[in-house]
C-alpha cells in the first residue's frame, strides 16, 4: 500500500520514523563521515545530533572495532556484496562502551556499489536512558537540499522497530516489514485492521490516552501495552508517535507510530518486582516461627497507633511469655526448644482469627499480639483463648513449676491513643500485666489495671 502513496507521503513517513525512533540510528558514508544520525543516536552516546552529522565517525568507535569497519568500507569500494551484520562498540561521551550493529543496506549508489553503512544501537540500557524527543514539523528534505527518501526507507526496512501509520480511529494504513518477525503477520494482513483489535483487553484503557490527545497534542505519550501475535500469544510493545498533517485523510491528520518489543525488559521488571516483594517479606518474618519479626512489629505498631489516634479507637496489646522456657531448653535441648516455639506460634495463630490482628516474635520465648479496634474485654478474651490453645498442645515439660506441660503467661493492655502519650506506654502496661501474671502463679492472662 505504501507504493500507492505520493513520493512526499513516503518520504514523510520514513523521515518521521527515523526522527522518532527510540533506537539510536546513524548512517556512515563511504568517505568515513556520519551521513545522518537521529536524535536517539546522539542522546544515547551523549553528543548533540548536530555535532555528529558530517563529522568523522572513527573517534566514536571503539579502537578494537575500527579495523573491521574500515575493512567493510574497503570491500564495499571493491564491489564485494553479501556482508553479514557486524557487532561493534560506540564510545559514549563519558567513555563507556555502547553496543551497536553495523550493516550494509541493500541500496545501490549510482556507481553500482553500496552507498553507506547503517548503524543501530543495541544497548538496552542506553535506550532506557533516552526520552523520546518531541520533534517539530521539520521538512523531510535535509539541510543539504538533497532528498533522503532512500536513506529513511532503509530505516524502515532494516530497523527492528515497527513503523506504522494510522488514521485517527486507529486503522492501520501502513506497517513496516519488521512486523513479520515481531508479530508473525505479513504487512498486507494488517493493513486496514484497527490496532485496538490487537491490543490485550486489559490494556485497552491505555488507548484513549493514546488516541484522544491527537486533536490537540502533536506528539503521543510513550505507552506500554501487550499486542497479540498471529499465533495468539502476546508481546509487550512500547510505542511513541506524532501526528502528520495530510490531505485526503480524516481531519487531514494521520498518526506515525514507532513501536519496539520490550518483552524482555517487562519480564525482567516483573521478576525484579517479585524478588523485591519476596525480599521484603523475608526481611519482615521471623525465620524460625514464620511470624512477623521485631522490626516489622515496630513499623506496624507505630502505624496502628497513629490510625487509632486519628479515629479515637481502642488499641490493645498482648505480651505472651512461655513459662520456664529456659528450663525447657536445658532439659530437652535447643532443637526441641525451637520446635516448641513453632508449636506455640501456630497455637497463637489459631487464637487470633481476625485478618487485622498481628502476631510477632518479640524476642526469645516472648511474643506480642497487636489487636486494632479491640477494647480491654475483647483483648482479655483473645489472651485467654491463646493461653488455652498453648495448654492444649500438651507439650511435656517435666521441669515446669506450674504444670507437667508447656504453659504461657500473658499480659494485656488497652488504650485509646492520644497525642500526649507515647506509644511505648501501651507496651509498658502490657509488660507490667505480664509481670503480675507471673507473680500470681503463671499460666494465666492478666489485664493491666485489674487488681
Contact of 292 with 284, CB cutoff 8 Å: yes
Residues 6+ apart with CB under 8 A from 311: none
For range 87-91, the mean pLDDT: 91
Task: Please tell me which of 123-127, 131-135, 366-370 the model is most confident about, judged by mean pLDDT.
Answer: 366-370
> For 250-281, how does the pLDDT look when each residue is reduced to its tens digit (9 = 90+)?
455 788 888 888 888 888 888 878 877 777 77
Tell if the pTM clears 0.75, that is, is over it.
no
Q: What's the confidence (pLDDT) of residue 145?
A: 39
- Of the candidate ranges 130-134, 188-192, 314-318, 371-375, the one whose mean pLDDT is the lowest: 130-134
pLDDT greater than 80 at residue 401: yes
Nearest to 116 by CA among 30, 57, 18, 36: 30
Cα 303 to chain centroid, rounded:
27
Contact of 320 with 410, CB cutoff 8 Å: yes
pLDDT greater than 90 at residue 115: no
Q: What is the 3-state secondary structure (H, E, C) of the chain?
A: CHHHCCHHHHHHHHHHHHHHCCCCEEEEECCCEEEEECHHHHHHHCCCHHHHCCCECHHHECHHHHHHHHHHHHHHHCCCCCCCCEEEEEECCCCCEEEEEEECCCCECCCCCECEEEEEECCHHHHHCCCCCCCCCCCCECCCCCECHHHHHHHHHHCCCEEEEECCCCEEEEECCCHHHHHCCCHHHHCCCEHHHCECHHHHHHHHHHHHHHHCCCECCCEEEEEECCCCCEEEEEEEEEEEECCCCHHHEEEEEEEEECHHHHHHHHHHHHHHHHHHHHHHECCCCCCECHHHHHHHHHHHHHHHHHHCCCEEEEEEEECCHHHHHHHHCHHHHHHHHHHHHHHHHHHCCCCCCEEEEEECCEEEEEEECCCHHHHHHHHHHHHHHHHHCCCECCCCCCCCECCEEEEEEEECCCCCCCCHHHHHHHHHHHHHHHHCCCCCEEECCCC
* Residue 294 confidence class, pLDDT cut points 50, 70, 90: very high
Parallel, antiparallel, or unpaired: how do β-strands 366-372 and 358-363 relate? antiparallel
* Residue 326 confidence class, pLDDT cut points 50, 70, 90: very high
Q: What's the confidence (pLDDT) of residue 252?
A: 59
Q: What's the confidence (pLDDT) of residue 192?
A: 92
pLDDT greater than 70 at residue 135: no
For range 356-365, the mean pLDDT: 93
Q: What are phi and psi of 417, to 5 degrees?
A: -55, 145
For range 9-28, the mean pLDDT: 74
- Of the candidate ranges 117-126, 324-333, 429-438, the one whose mean pLDDT is the lowest: 117-126
User: What does the block give as the cell for 61?
Assistant: 568507535
> If you average pLDDT over every residue of the chain, what do you get?
83
Q: Identify the residue with better confidence: 138 or 36.
A: 36
* Residue 24 confidence class, pLDDT cut points 50, 70, 90: confident
> For 405-443, how does the pLDDT look when each residue is reduced to its tens digit (9 = 90+)?
999 999 999 999 999 999 999 999 999 999 999 999 999
Residues 6+ apart with CB under 8 A from 5: 13, 174
> For 159-195, how does the pLDDT look when each residue is reduced to its tens digit (9 = 90+)?
678 888 888 888 899 888 889 989 999 999 999 999 9
Q: What's the confidence (pLDDT) of residue 156?
A: 62
Distance CA 12, CA 22 (A): 18
Amino acid at each position: 500500500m505504501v507504493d500507492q502513496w505520493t513520493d512526499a507521503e513516503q518520504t514523510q513517513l520514513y523521515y518521521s520514523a527515523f526522527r522518532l525512533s527510540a533506537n539510536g540510528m546513524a548512517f556512515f558514508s563511504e568517505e568515513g563521515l556520519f551521513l545522518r544520525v537521529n536524535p536517539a543516536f546522539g542522546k544515547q552516546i551523549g553528543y548533540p545530533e548536530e555535532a555528529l552529522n558530517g563529522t568523522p565517525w572513527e573517534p566514536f568507535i571503539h579502537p578494537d572495532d575500527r579495523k573491521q569497519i574500515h575493512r567493510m568500507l574497503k570491500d564495499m569500494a571493491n564491489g564485494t556484496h553479501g556482508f553479514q551484520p557486524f557487532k561493534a562498540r560506540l564510545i559514549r561521551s563519558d567513555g563507556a562502551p555502547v553496543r551497536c550493529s553495523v550493516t550494509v543496506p541493500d541500496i545501490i549508489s549510482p556507481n553500482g556499489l553500496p552507498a553507506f553503512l547503517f548503524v543501530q544501537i543495541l544497548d538496552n540500557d542506553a535506550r532506557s536512558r533516552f526520552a523520546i524527543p518531541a520533534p517539530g514539523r521539520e521538512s523531510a528534505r535535509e539541510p543539504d537540499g538533497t532528498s533522503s527518501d532512500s536513506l529513511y526507507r532503509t530505516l524502515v526496512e532494516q530497523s527492528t522497530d515497527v513503523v506504522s501509520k494510522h488514521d485517527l480511529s486507529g486503522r492501520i494504513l501502513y506497517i513496516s516489514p519488521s512486523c513479520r518477525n515481531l508479530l508473525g503477520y505479513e504487512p498486507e494482513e494488517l493493513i486496514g485492521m484497527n490496532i485496538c483489535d490487537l491490543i490485550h483487553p486489559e490494556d485497552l484503557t491505555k488507548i484513549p490516552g493514546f488516541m484522544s490527545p491527537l486533536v490537540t497534542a502533536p506528539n503521543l505519550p510513550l505507552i506500554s501495552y501487550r499486542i497479540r501475535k498471529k499465533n495468539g500469544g502476546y508481546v509487550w510493545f512500547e510505542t511513541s508517535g506524532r501526528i502528520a498533517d495530510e490531505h485526503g485523510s480524516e481531519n487531514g491528520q494521520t498518526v506515525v507510530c514507532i513501536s519496539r518489543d520490550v518483552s524482555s525488559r517487562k519480564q525482567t521488571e516483573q521478576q525484579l518486582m517479585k524478588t523485591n516483594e519476596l525480599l521484603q517479606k523475608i526481611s519482615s518474618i521471623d525465620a524460625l516461627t514464620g511470624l512477623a519479626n521485631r522490626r516489622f512489629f515496630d513499623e506496624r505498631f507505630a502505624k496502628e497507633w497513629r490510625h487509632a489516634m486519628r479515629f479515637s479507637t481502642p488499641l490493645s496489646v498482648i505480651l505472651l511469655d512461655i513459662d520456664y522456657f529456659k528450663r525447657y531448653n536445658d532439659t530437652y535441648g535447643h532443637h526441641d526448644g525451637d520446635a516448641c516455639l513453632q508449636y506455640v506460634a501456630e497455637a497463637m495463630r489459631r487464637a487470633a482469627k481476625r485478618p487485622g490482628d498481628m502476631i510477632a516474635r518479640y524476642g526469645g520465648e516472648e511474643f506480642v499480639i497487636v489487636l486494632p479496634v479491640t477494647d480491654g474485654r475483647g483483648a482479655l478474651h483473645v489472651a485467654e483463648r491463646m493461653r488455652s490453645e498453648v495448654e492444649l498442645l500438651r507439650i511435656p515439660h517435666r521441669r515446669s513449676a506450674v504444670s507437667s506441660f508447656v504453659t504461657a503467661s500473658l499480659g494485656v493492655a488497652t488504650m485509646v491513643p492520644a497525642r500526649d502519650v507515647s506509644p511505648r506506654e501501651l507496651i509498658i502496661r502490657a509488660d507490667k500485666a505480664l509481670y503480675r501474671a507471673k507473680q500470681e502463679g503463671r499460666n494465666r492472662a492478666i489485664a493491666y489495671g485489674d487488681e
